[in-house]
Each structure stands twice: as structure tokens, then as C-alpha cells.
Structure 1
């Protein structure tokens, strides 16, 4: 990757227009916020005031309960944002306008990252505030230890999950396939791996990344170490997607 292949403002703007005008991508992005905040608030209102620990042993992680569902929307956003290029010859048209494949790819990734991070940070803050407002005497305050880190980290985590899906979609050229494989992977596989190979499940992208939202570290991964593991998963997927984008025919 050379400096000459870095994104430019016109290319970034064109990628933003593509996402803004694609119902599936824009809808998935908005679903990150609505799903995460909504499920957290509804769950907190339903059982949060019942007894301490009703939403889990870690009170800080419980404050972000809806992230378990919001990450599905983040995966859908990352996948649909890239998948449009591989339908009906759209990639040929994009390459006509932007012949440099690396610039095109980096521009798409940059827009996905910025939008996912922006929505993720707003989602993290609203999720915490809305959920804890309904927790009664069991609420965690925003100034309590680890809360600011968890709010910020939850937004970064959602961005990384979107980028993981985006990279894999560029690799396999199918958003449907990526969602069909990645969603069960993050929801089921970490628990299966954890049962079979001891604590290895903690190094799966979702379990590792969610460590940043924990009050107490689980095993050997601290909050930032866990988020770094998820970042490595995402970077690996993005590099694989870049290689595929450069080598395959449009």
C-alpha cells in the first residue's frame, strides 16, 4: 500500500453516498443503535430491579447487555456495505471511476469504520444511560470505576465487528454467506471452543472484545488486551479482503 493509493475526499464522499442510498446498509447501521439501546432498556425495565445480578455477575458488562444483539446489526452493516460491489457488475463500474483497487478498498473500509465508530459511541453512551436509569437501586453510575472505558470500548468493539464482516465479505464476495457464517460463529462457537479447549474461547473475537466492557477481567485478558485481540481478528480479515480485491477479476 503506497501513499498514492490512500483515500481521497472525492472517493470517500462517493462511498458515503453508496452507503447512504443503500437501504440495507443504512438500515443495518441504524439497527445497531436501536437494537442495542432498546433491548438493554427493555431488559433492565423487566428484570433489572428484581435482584442484584439479575443481568449477570458483572454489573458493568450487564449494563451493555444489548450489545450481544447490536453486534449482529454491526456485522450486517459491515457485510452489506461491501456486498453491493459484488452484485450485478457494480465493481466494474466502481473500478472505472477509481481504477486503483487499493484506494477503492481503503476508502470503503474507512467510511465503514468511521460510520460504525460514530454510531457505536453514541450507542454505547445511550445504552448505558438508558439501561441504568431503569435499574433502580442496582444501577451503576457513569462515574464509577471502568464505566467511561466501557462506554468508549463498546463503540470501538461494534466498529471492529463491522470491519471483521467487511473484510470477510471482500474475501468471499457474498454478504449473505458472511452473515450466515459469522453470526453463528460469534454467538455459538466461543462457548463450544471454551468447553472443548479450556479458556481458548476467550480469544474468539466477541468474547475477547467484550472484555473492555467488564468490571473484572476474565482470565488472562484485560480490557484493552481483549479489545486488541478483536482488532487482530478484524485486521486479518481486512488484509485477506484486500488481497482478494487486488487479485481477483472484477
Structure 2
């Protein structure tokens, strides 16, 4: 495996690919715009109306915008991988980087690094900008759980992007992946939660967002919930690695 680890030239080429693809780079920027922008708008509209205007958990409410930002994270991860499967791009890539594992790990490393960087900036500014409109109901970074939630929100967005990237390596279509993932995180938790007595707690978004809550009431805590999301992402990435290694370009 060490012979297949990413190298600086390969990582640089993956950065150039992402930067040159308008849709992919735009989705990365949209992670910040959607999360922080919607959070600021929501807080400006209802933040000072009453306590709990953004939900019973004030810390989770401080990251309301992440429900929209995660869609952009899905789009970023999916489009970054899907670009390799259009018009024979993968064959060209493998001509330059014949080792498929090195190519795949380099792609995933760059997607993860960019998502983490943008995610951390997004988490901090989402919290700060949103709370600026909350008046006497505002939280500060020194309040219990605030720093954990800020850091965890960036990790959450990163794992969501990697989850989508791994699935795209399997399905080879960003459109298919997004048509599956968006309903999966929007509707399925409520359906399963009502039908299976709380099994939705172990779904990616429900588990991952526990790191944003002031207190956990279920079987998972903030970090164990994020760990469950990480397992979903690792499983998708492993499946993607097998697909890239075994399928024809």
C-alpha cells in the first residue's frame, strides 16, 4: 500500500482538476454560502422573536444552516469523482497515474482536505454570524459545547462530502448519487424513526449531527455519533476503491 500512497505531483493535479471544474469548485464554495448564509438569514428573521425560535436545542439551532450546506457537500464530493467518468477522462488519468490506488487515494485526500478546510471556516462563521442576530438569546464560543460543535460541524460536512464521493466511485454518476442521498437524509430518518423505534439514530445525518447538540438523549454521544457517520463514509470509500480497482476505465 505504501507504494500507492499519494504523492505531491498527483495531489497537485487533483487540485488543478477541482479548481478548473466550475460546477465542482462552485459546490465547494456553496458549502459555505448555503450554511452560513441561510443561518444568518434565519437568525435575522426569527432569532430574537423568542427563546427556542430555531428549535428546542439552542446549540443545534445555531447550525440550522448545515441542513442546506450538507446538500452542497454531497454535490462537491459527488461531482469531483463523477468528472472522472465522463468522456473517457479516467483513461487519460490512468495514463498519467497508472496505479489506481494512488489515483483514488489522491482524489479522496484532496476532496477531504478541501472539504475540511472549507468546513472549519464554515462552522466558525456560521456560528458567529448567526449568533450576531440573536440578541439576548445569543450563544458565545465559551458556552458549553460551542467549540465542539464548531469543530464537529466542519468534520460533519467533510464526512458527508467523502460519503458522496465514495458512492459516486461505485455508481459513476453524480446525478444518481444525489437523487439517492438527498431523499435519504431528508425523509428516511423520519420514516425509519417512527417505524423502527429510533433506528434513525444510526443513520448518517442523524448520528453525525449529535456533535451539534447541547445534550444527547439517545444511545450515542456527540463523538460516537460522529464516529458512526465516519463508518458510513469509510464503507462508501472502501466500496469506491474496490470499484475503481476492478472495473474497466
Q: Quick check: TM above 0.5? A: yes
Deviation at 1:61, TM superposition (A): 0.4
Specify every segment of 5 or more residues in structure 2 that has no aligned partner in the other structure, as ranges.
none
1:198 match: secondary structure:
coil
Q: What does the per-residue CA deviation read over 1:106-138, in whole Å, with 9 as the maximum and x for residues that have no partner?
A: 000000000000000000000000000001111
2:140 match: secondary structure:
coil
Superposition pairs of residues 164-203 of structure 1, within 5 angstroms: 164-203=163-202
Report the Cα distance in structure 1 between the residues aligned to 2:192 and 2:87, rounded to whole angstroms. 38
1:215 aligns with 2:214: yes
Moved more, 179-188 or 151-160: 179-188
1:110 aligns with 2:113: no
Match of 1:33 in 2: 32
1:145 match: secondary structure:
coil
TM-score normalised to structure 2 length: 0.99
Match of 2:20 in 1: 21
Moved over 2 A (4+): none
TM-score normalised to structure 1 length: 0.99
Match of 2:59 in 1: 60
Q: What does the per-residue CA deviation read over 1:177-223, in whole Å, with 9 as the maximum and x for residues that have no partner?
A: 00111111011111111011011001000010000010011311100
- Say if 1:211 and 1:218, in contact at 8 Å, map to a contact too: no
Q: What does the per-residue CA deviation read over 1:49-87, in whole Å, with 9 as the maximum and x for residues that have no partner?
A: 000001001000000000000000000000000000000
Specify every segment of 5 or more residues in structure 1 that has no aligned partner in the other structure, as ranges.
none
Report the Cα distance in structure 2 between the residues aligned to 1:190 and 1:238, rounded to whole angstroms. 22
- Say if 1:211 and 1:223, in contact at 8 Å, map to a contact too: yes
Report the Cα distance in structure 2 between the residues aligned to 1:24 and 1:185, rounded to whole angstroms. 23
Paired residues in the alignment total 249
